[in-house]
Amino acid sequence: MKKRKLMVSSFIVLSVFILFIMLVIAGQSDSRRDSPWLRNGNDIYYDNGNVGIGTTSPRYDARLDVGGHVRMGTLTVDDFIDGNGFIQAWGLDNTGWLGLVHAYQDGGQWEYKQWHLNIDRTGTDDFIISTESPPDTIPFMIQRSTHNVGIGTTNPQQRLDVEGYVKAWGVTTGDIVFQKEGKKLWRMFEEEDGLYLENLKTGKASRVFLEEDLVFLKEEIMKEVRKEIMADLKVLLNEKQ
């Protein structure tokens, strides 16, 4: 009798344990079935619709819509031009620079074209763009204090300061300063009566004569020459008489 009761008790306990295990498994299966996230090894992914963080209605065209700030180490964007590369942005360690690189395949070899962007943190807050490891080469910058733009220089002295040649279809300007090897040599400026060229070393300025001016001067000189010749002829004639 005791043996039979023990067997019944053991059966009941075993049945309850098996039922509990089945309920746990069923609950896990339901939760996995209801969850939109799937696992692939150590990775998780979501392949149905868009993901919203901080928003209940992510944009229809955004796989990830974040209603707030996003912090990341590196941002990679596919190259949608030909799908054969990518654009990557990252912060350069302890420099304050933002790196941008366009990577693409050319003839089976990977090519990397880099840019670096920075807002100077030494107190000037200048905006700088560099093509090499900063700050070795700085082809473009905007000074915050003066709003001057520099191309090929880190210290623009005017609204646009270009250290190099400039090609343009037309230029509207005031004074023109000519320099060579960093030294300012000549200044061309305009007055109401014409153009002037100033030697910046001596400070002396001379008027630039146009072709029309030269024709006029030639006529005036010829008039004076004729007057002098006529005067000399009169003197000679008087002496002969």
Task: Classify residue 79: in a domain, yes or no.
Answer: yes
Tokens describing residue 9: 């008790």
Task: Classify residue 196: in a domain, yes or no.
Answer: no
Name the 3-class secondary structure at 17: helix
Task: Classify residue 97: in a domain, yes or no.
Answer: yes
Residue 18 neighbours by CB distance under 10 Å? 10
- Residue 125 domain boundaries: 72-167
How far is 21 from 39, CA to CA, in rounded Å? 23
Task: Classify residue 112: in a domain, yes or no.
Answer: yes
Task: Classify residue 140: in a domain, yes or no.
Answer: yes
Task: Classify residue 110: in a domain, yes or no.
Answer: yes
- pLDDT per position in the chain (241 positions), as tens? 555 555 556 656 566 667 666 665 555 544 445 567 777 888 877 777 888 888 888 888 888 888 888 887 777 777 655 656 777 777 766 666 777 777 877 777 887 777 777 777 777 788 888 776 555 566 788 888 889 999 888 888 888 888 888 888 887 778 888 888 878 899 998 888 888 899 999 999 988 777 777 776 777 788 888 888 887 777 777 776 6
Tokens describing residue 79: 């190259």
Task: Classify residue 142: in a domain, yes or no.
Answer: yes
pTM > 0.85: yes or no: no
Distances (CA, A) of 10 to 2, 18, 130, 236: 12, 12, 79, 158
Which residues are paired to 113 by β-bridges?
A: 102
Task: Classify residue 184: in a domain, yes or no.
Answer: no
Number of domains forming the structure of the chain: 1
| Pairing between β-strand 109-119 and β-strand 64-66 as defined by DSSP bridges | unpaired
Reduced to 3 DSSP states, what percent helix, strand and coil does the chain have, rounded to the nearest 5? 25, 35, 40
